[in-house]
Homo-oligomer: A and B are copies of this chain.
Amino acid sequence: MIVALAGGVGGAKLADGLAHVLGRDLAVVVNTADDFEHIGLHVSPDIDTVMYTLGGVANAETGWGVAGESWNFLDQLSRLDGPTWFRLGDRDLATHVLRNERLKRGERLTAITGELCRRLGISARVLPMSDDPVRTVVHTAEGPLAFQEYFVGRRCEVPVTGFTFAGIENAQVTKDVQAALSGGETSAVVICPSNPFVSIDPILHVPGMRALLLARDVPIVAVSPIIGGAAVKGPAAKMMRELGLEASSKSVAAHYRGLIEGLMLDHADAPLSPAIESMGMKVRVTDTLMKSATDRRRLAQECLDFAAALARPGASP
């Protein structure tokens, strides 16, 4: 059993590769701090990206939402002067409406996600980091912004000064995540190439999560989301610069220092290896850019090989 931690697009791609290699022997713990309430509907962007990607129905054109999407709901919403800044597709809405109904009935996000995944034919377990509401607040020179306001509404243009995760102090690790992380059959944890600040950090900050990750003697490896000083997708590199950090995999390594045993870098970042290894972790260099399904599976297999190589002799398999 392998546990992956993931946020949006990049994380979902590696999770998809892992799911192809591992089938049912994968649990993906997903960030829910991007979740928000929009026109009365609960929207879980990262869960949906992971779910649609693993279900093979992700929209490759947009990078989010469902393939074969149409926009008539949004068009009509616009005629009715409803809010259209967050683009909900007609197919995507089916997920939000079904999920919302069940949440309002008092069901847990984890149970609902599990059922949606079964319906999409997903064998891996997709686990929200928590069933309790956590909301990323992006601190900027203009003041605090809700995550989607920053990410979609302002297109990440406002310089950031930091992040907080509202509600995190009361969020609990679910029994499902706990079982996945503390189960004897779990042999490695893979931190996917997601944004360290707004995708992975919320997961790591759920009270008790880091302790659970460190308690078991299994290797934790991360794949850097930065290649040659740029993020493959999203604002990770831009955020690093705005936070006064070097926009490089070195900052990723520093961020995960003390947690991970290994970091996978792209060939473009091979020269950073000595500096990163001096931070007390192993480095493996490969092609980390995932352009095809084959890339996803190859990188997934390399992560598993890397983790296996890092497993201490005599540790649980």
Quick one: closest B residue to A96, CB to CB? B97
Q: Are A93 and B91 in contact (CB under 8 A)?
A: no
Quick one: closest B residue to A118, CB to CB? B81
Q: Are A98 and B66 in contact (CB under 8 A)?
A: no
Q: Does A82 contact B (CB under 8 A)?
A: yes
Q: Which B residues are CB-close (under 8 A) to A72?
A: 68-70, 72, 89-91
Interface residue ranges of A68-85 to B (CB < 8 Å)? 68-70, 72-77, 79-82
A80-B94 contact given A70-B70, A72-B69, A73-B73, CB 8 Å threshold: yes
Q: Are B101 and A76 in contact (CB under 8 A)?
A: no
Interface residue ranges of A90-108 to B (CB < 8 Å)? 90-95, 97-98, 100-101, 104
Q: Does A198 contact B (CB under 8 A)?
A: no
Quick one: closest B residue to A89, CB to CB? B72
Q: Are B94 and A70 in contact (CB under 8 A)?
A: no
Interface size on A, residues (CB 8 A): 32
Q: Does A39 contact B (CB under 8 A)?
A: yes
Quick one: closest B residue to A92, CB to CB? B76
Q: Are A73 and B98 in contact (CB under 8 A)?
A: no
A61 CB to nearest chain B CB (Å): 15
Q: Are B90 and A73 in contact (CB under 8 A)?
A: yes
Quick one: closest B residue to A97, CB to CB? B39
Q: How many angstroms between the C-alpha atoms of A97 and B83 in the bound complex?
A: 11
Q: Which B residues are CB-close (under 8 A) to A97?
A: 39-41, 73, 77, 82, 93, 97
Annotate A100-126 by CB proximity to B: 1 below 8 A, 0 otherwise.
110010000000000010011000000
Q: How many angstroms between the C-alpha atoms of A101 and B104 in the bound complex?
A: 13
A227 CB to nearest chain B CB (Å): 34
Q: Are A94 and B81 in contact (CB under 8 A)?
A: no
Q: Which B residues are CB-close (under 8 A) to A120?
A: 79-80
Q: Are A98 and B119 in contact (CB under 8 A)?
A: no
Which 3 residue pairs spanning A and B have beta carbons closest together? A40-B101, A76-B94, A72-B90
Q: Are B98 and A70 in contact (CB under 8 A)?
A: no
A55 CB to nearest chain B CB (Å): 9
- Which single member of B40, B80, B94 contacts A77 (CB below 8 Å)? B94
Q: Are A76 and B66 in contact (CB under 8 A)?
A: yes
Q: How many angstroms between the C-alpha atoms of A89 and B72 in the bound complex?
A: 9
Quick one: closest B residue to A98, CB to CB? B82
- Which single member of B79, B91, B104 contacts A76 (CB below 8 Å)? B91
- Which single member of B75, B89, B116 contacts A80 (CB below 8 Å)? B116
Q: Which B residues are CB-close (under 8 A) to A74?
A: 94
Q: Are A119 and B40 in contact (CB under 8 A)?
A: no
A92 CB to nearest chain B CB (Å): 8
